[in-house]
Amino acid sequence: MPKRITVPFGPQHPVLPEPIHLDLVLEDEKVVDVLPSIGYVHRGLEKLVEKREFTEYIYVAERICGICSYIHSNTYAQGIEKIMNIEVPERAQYLRTIWSEYSRLHSHLLWLGLFADGMGFESVFMNAWRLREHVLDDMEATTGGRVIQGVCKVGGVRKDIAPEKLDEMLKGLKGMEHELHDLTNVFLNDSSVSHRLRGAGVLQKGDAYTLGAVGPTARGSGIAIDLRQTGYAAYGKINFKPVVEQAGDSYARCAVRAKEMFTSIDIIEQCIKKIPDGPVDVKVTGAPDGEYFARAEQPRGEVVHYIKGNGKKNLVRHRVRTPTFTNIPPLVTLLKGCELADVPVIVLSIDPCVGCAER
Amino acid sequence: MTYFQNAKTVLKSLFTRPATLMYPAKPAKKTPLSRGHVTIDPAKCITCRSCQRKCPTQAIIVEVKEKTWQIDQMRCIVCACCVEVCPTKCLTMDTQYPVALTARGGVTKVTVAGPKKKEPVAVAEKPAEKKE
């Protein structure tokens, strides 16, 4: 029997954008066991609800993560609005949907770049980030922030987008689409990429379900879960189908994200065509009294914000369950039995966002 | 399965200008809505402390007696809450980022005008009470 050795992986590692530590137990070059540990970037944001008013806390909630920031604020606002029975104007709902999809686009482009970099394909990394810049420019022109938008508030949104700007945004996205096709073509059809990804880290459908995988990790294994189908914000009025792949390997997870970008562009197009006129926010008075589980689909999967208030300006409890946290048990299963050289690619394939997971 | 799927993009990028900007030699692209940093017009501030109360990170401290307004750039998250709530519009959002700091600090303290002195209002004379 070969001797077992333990190799520490992370928290500082060239492929890891954020700190997660994995103890890899190896037999020769094969990973037989994985012990994950987190806690390197814990900031205690949830405790801050006791000191900040619930309307100001949304800016703190948005800063849980630097990539899926907008959707965190959206989910938090949804929770408060449900507790306080606030009816958000329809235009605000559509604007929230547009910004959510923009944030998904930029997150997936970021991830495709990092993934290519993890495989050693640096020119694709640069190209993905160049395309992401178009998305970020539109975000900045409409919200004022590139990655931290700060545009969502309890009771609506803070900024409106002029109809001419909406048309311009749509034109820009349509112009970007063929460049996106060129980019995703590399991930989907290039032989060297598929040689690296196919068969690396296979997650069976049953495992994905029992381990509670969410988002593209689950959809890459053939489970058609997508929280957008519950119809929060304006998703109920939009036609779309979740992208599902059956293979369950790194290639399938990559393909889900690559194809989801086109779904996002399609959703934005439908929103821009259907968006009604009207106000974008309502005045909020009083304070939340009650509790609610708000759920939404982030680029990485389902996020849950648990909010509890007692009728005062400060909330009593705020708890966030982020998609990366849920995807760590499937990651451990994925890594068992793989080669050491495949570990970076497999870790990146679940799109780990540790800043989110630890808050 | 094919090879050289990225060749088209690579060839195209060989003959185009770089997508990056030489920041800070050239100023960053900014839009009118961009949030860079908060600036104050000291002459208009009335030390009402609305900005201090609304600030989610407690970056702003207003001393009413000393008539000073202070912001900690390291704490400020540039959410523009203070700009929205300011009653005299003395706070504005500059579109350019603040200069990078090389050490802890970044506290800017300015002396402001303070509340306007109330003009003496002519008090309506009370009707003389009837003597019984």
User: Which domains are delineated in chain B?
Assistant: 37-116 (3.30.70.3270)
- Say if B85 is an interface residue toward chain A (CB within 8 Å): no
Range of the domain at A303: 4-358
- Do the Cβ atoms of B3 and A190 come within 8 Å? yes
Chain A: closest CA distance from residue B3 (Å): 5
Please tell me if residue B14 touches chain A, with a CB cutoff of 8 Å. no
Q: Residue B121 — pLDDT band, cuts 50, 70, 90?
A: low
Q: What are phi and psi of A39, to 5 degrees?
A: 125, 20
ipTM: 0.72
pLDDT of residue B126: 52
Could you tell me if B68 and B112 are in contact, meaning their C-beta atoms sit under 8 angstroms apart? Answer: yes
> Which among B8, B19, B33 is the nearest to A182, CB-wise?
B8
Contact B56 A140 (CB under 8 A): no
CB-CB under 8 Å, B54 with A192: no
Instruction: Please report how the helices A122-143 and A90-119 are oriented relative to each other, as an axis angle in degrees rounded to 10.
Output: 160
Query: Chain A residue closest to B58 (CA)?
Result: A52
DSSP B2-14: BS-TTHHHHHHHH
Distance, in Å, from the CA atom of A59 to the CA atom of A51, rounded to the nearest integer, reads: 13
Residues of A in contact with B84 (CB under 8 A): 158
- Pair of tokens at residue A308: 């509890």
Write the CATH number for A224.
Answer: 1.10.645.10
Q: Spell out the per-residue pLDDT of chain A, length 359, in tens.
A: 678 888 888 788 777 777 888 888 888 888 888 888 888 888 888 888 888 888 888 888 888 888 888 899 999 999 999 888 888 888 898 999 999 999 999 999 999 988 888 888 888 888 888 889 888 888 888 888 888 888 888 888 888 888 888 888 888 888 888 888 888 888 888 888 888 888 788 888 888 889 888 888 888 888 888 888 888 888 888 888 888 888 888 889 889 999 999 999 999 989 888 888 888 888 888 888 888 998 888 888 889 999 988 888 888 888 888 888 888 888 888 888 888 888 888 888 888 888 788 87
pLDDT of residue A195: 83
pLDDT at B122: 57
A chain contacts of residue B77, beta-carbon cutoff 8 Å: 59, 63, 148
Do A16 and A331 contact (CB within 8 A), yes or no? Answer: no
**Chain A contact for B19, CB < 8 A?**
yes
Distance CA A263, CA A324 (A): 22
Residue of B nearest to A126 (CA): B19
pLDDT digits 0-9 by tens, B48-87: 888 888 888 888 888 888 888 888 888 888 888 888 888 8
Please report residues of B whose CB lies closer than 8 A to that of A121.
Answer: 6
Q: What sign for the dihedral angle of Cα A9, A12, A16, A18?
A: positive
Residue type, B132: E
What's the confidence (pLDDT) of residue B56?
84
Contacts of A130 in chain B (CB under 8 A): 19
Helical pair A122-143 and B7-14, crossing angle rounded to 10 deg: 70
Q: Given an 8 Å threshold on Cβ–Cβ distance, is A190 in contact with B34? A: no
Q: How many separate domains does chain A show?
A: 1
Distance CA A106, CA A104 (A): 6
A62 to chain B: closest CA residue:
B79
The pLDDT value given to residue B107 = 80
pLDDT at A280: 85
The minimum CA-CA distance between A211 and chain B, rounded to whole Å, is 33
> Do B77 and A130 count as a contact with CB atoms less than 8 A apart?
no
The answer to whether residue B96 neighbours chain A at the CB level (below 8 Å) is no
Report d(CA B28, CA A137) in Å as an integer: 11
Residues of B whose CB is below 8 A from A63 = 77
Burial B9-44 (b: 16+ CB within 10 A, else e): beeeeeeeeeeeeeeeeeeeebeebbbebbebeeee
